[in-house]
């Protein structure tokens, strides 16, 4: 097989991966990095490249890679979400109050892709240097990774004209969203120090929401509010990046991700603001890579995600409009800021170690938005990551990454029942496995 045929064959494999991938997520979750090597650094590395998956972090990065190559792998992710409601004083409730069922319940995933609560999130990429100044590539990856589903249970707190099942009285309560990105890439060397890259993105998204019929009187389209199966949407975006070698030890990187402009979800136009619009939030990502010595590289990155640009995320849950209106209720998220730190240590020709830590220092969710975020994963706070790679010859490498997010909680008062406090909690663990090949 010629190199050209091999490249075309692997590009087709990446396209097939995109079609078969099933990246399930609770509304609003974002993976911390792309690819096993980058996620071991907790998503730091906008100024650093190790394999073709750098396309998803900074499209300029593929020109930093010494050889052509590809990578295929998957995240195997398990999360635990719980909701707890206390018992308010009976004499504190007014007529029309809605008291959440007291006690604690755990979300149970309910999608075909999961096996015993573990979700696979496949990814793949390939790149090829055309000449000294140009390289091309393709990456296929998902955004998200967690399904939220609270199973139905007998709920005597519900109004008599409802099934009286589940948190919101109409059975299972949850969300499932899948997003797949296909990103062809071109990178160009402008001069000895500066590289630029661009990735136009084709985006596929599906969404399903269940259990929200209780809010039908507050919806602009009650029949398009909830329990309408999976709604599909296609969209597009663009990612641009740059990499600047400041000197022989220090490199700076910058990536700009546009909003993902998606078709409206007609089956949920009575729920999502702007008549079913669920665009993907844009972000800014920049950082530094310092080669402290031939074996050790230190990475410091900063990322800002602009949820305020998407009304379904940004609108308050107590917004005055009807669900589905431009000014209708949303998740009440503000913009998010995250600091990412990574250590890359090459032990020898065969073994490489990576360590990462990230911290969300400006969280997007406040206590007043607790109810509508019952079916979102909110945003995880601290991430701890570690990874190891083994190159068993000059062209084949296996990557293994471990990711741990300790339990985080968000507390808030039930706006529909005075004196009742609700606590949402999240925790997560994952293992990433990938195979890289140089040629």
**pTM to 2 decimal places:** 0.90
Paired residues of 200 in beta bridges: 238
The bridge status of strand 69-85 relative to strand 421-438 is antiparallel
CATH (domain of 337): 2.40.160.60
CA-CA distance, 46 to 197, in Å (whole number)? 12
CA-CA distance, 139 to 124, in Å (whole number)? 6
Q: Kindly write down the DSSP assignment for every residue of 134-202, as one continuous string.
A: EEEEEEEEES----EEEPP-B-TTS-TTS--BSTTSBS-EEEEEEEEEEEEEEEEE-SSSEEEEEEEEE
Residues near 69 by Cβ (< 8 Å), separated by ≥ 6?
51, 52, 126, 127, 436, 437, 438, 439
Dihedral angle, C-alpha 188, 189, 194, 200, nearest 10 °: 10
The candidate with the shortest Cα–Cα distance to 167, out of 323, 316, 374, is: 374
Total residues belonging to the chain? 439
Report yes or no: 205 and 277 within 8 Å, Cβ to Cβ.
Answer: no
Return per-residue pLDDT of the chain as tens, 439 residues: 555 555 555 555 544 544 444 444 444 556 788 999 999 999 999 999 999 999 999 999 999 999 999 999 999 888 788 889 888 877 666 666 788 888 898 888 766 556 667 778 889 999 999 999 999 999 999 876 567 888 999 998 888 889 999 888 999 988 888 889 999 999 999 999 999 999 999 999 988 899 989 889 989 999 999 999 999 999 999 999 999 999 999 999 999 999 999 999 999 999 999 999 999 999 999 999 999 999 999 999 999 999 899 999 889 888 888 999 999 988 888 888 899 999 999 999 999 999 999 988 766 677 677 777 777 765 567 889 999 999 989 899 999 999 998 888 888 888 777 788 888 888 888 999 999 999 8
Count of domains observed in the chain: 1
By residue range, what is the domain housing residue 149?
A: 3-438
CA-CA distance, 192 to 111, in Å (whole number)? 49
């Amino acid at each position: 097989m010629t190199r050209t045929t091999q490249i075309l064959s692997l590009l087709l494999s990446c396209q097939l991966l995109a079609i078969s991938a099933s990246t399930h997520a609770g509304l609003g979750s974002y993976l911390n990095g792309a690819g096993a090597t980058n996620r071991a650094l907790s998503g730091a590395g906008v100024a650093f490249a190790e394999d073709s998956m750098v396309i998803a972090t900074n499209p300029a990065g593929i020109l930093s890679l010494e050889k052509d190559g590809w990578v295929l792998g998957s995240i195997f992710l398990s999360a635990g979400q719980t909701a707890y409601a206390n018992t308010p004083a009976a004499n504190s409730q007014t007529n029309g109050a809605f008291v959440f069922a007291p006690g604690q319940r755990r979300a149970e995933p309910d999608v075909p892709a999961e096996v015993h609560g573990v979700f696979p999130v496949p990814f793949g990429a390939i790149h090829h240097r055309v000449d000294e100044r140009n390289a091309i590539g393709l990456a296929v990856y998902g955004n998200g990774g967690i399904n939220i589903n609270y199973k139905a249970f007998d709920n005597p707190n519900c109004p008599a004209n409802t099934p009286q099942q589940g948190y919101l009285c109409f059975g299972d309560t949850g969300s499932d969203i899948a997003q797949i990105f296909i990103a062809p890439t071109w990178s160009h060397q402008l001069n000895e120090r500066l590289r630029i890259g661009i990735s136009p993105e084709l985006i596929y998204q599906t969404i399903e929401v269940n259990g929200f019929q209780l809010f039908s009187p507050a919806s602009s389209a009650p029949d398009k509010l909830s329990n309408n199966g999976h709604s599909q949407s296609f969209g597009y975006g663009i990612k641009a990046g740059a990499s600047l070698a400041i000197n022989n030890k220090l490199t700076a990187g910058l990536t700009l991700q546009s909003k993902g402009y998606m078709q409206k979800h007609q089956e949920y136009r009575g729920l999502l603001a702007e008549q079913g619009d669920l665009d993907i939030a844009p972000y800014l990502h920049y950082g530094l890579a310092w080669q402290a010595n031939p074996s050790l590289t230190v990475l410091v990155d900063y990322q800002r995600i602009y949820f305020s640009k998407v009304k379904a995320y940004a609108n308050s849950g107590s917004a005055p409009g009807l669900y589905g209106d431009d000014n209708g209720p949303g998740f009440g998220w503000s913009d998010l800021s995250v600091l990412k730190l990574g250590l890359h240590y090459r032990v020898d020709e065969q073994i490489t170690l990576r360590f990462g830590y990230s911290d969300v220092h400006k969280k997007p969710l406040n206590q007043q938005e607790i109810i509508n975020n019952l079916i979102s994963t909110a945003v995880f706070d601290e991430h701890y990551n570690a990874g190891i790679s083994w190159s068993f010859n000059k062209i084949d490498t296996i990557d293994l990454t471990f990711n741990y997010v300790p339990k985080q909680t968000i507390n808030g008062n039930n706006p529909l029942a005075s004196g009742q406090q609700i606590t949402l909690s999240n925790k997560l663990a994952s293992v990433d496995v990938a195979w890289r090949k140089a040629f």
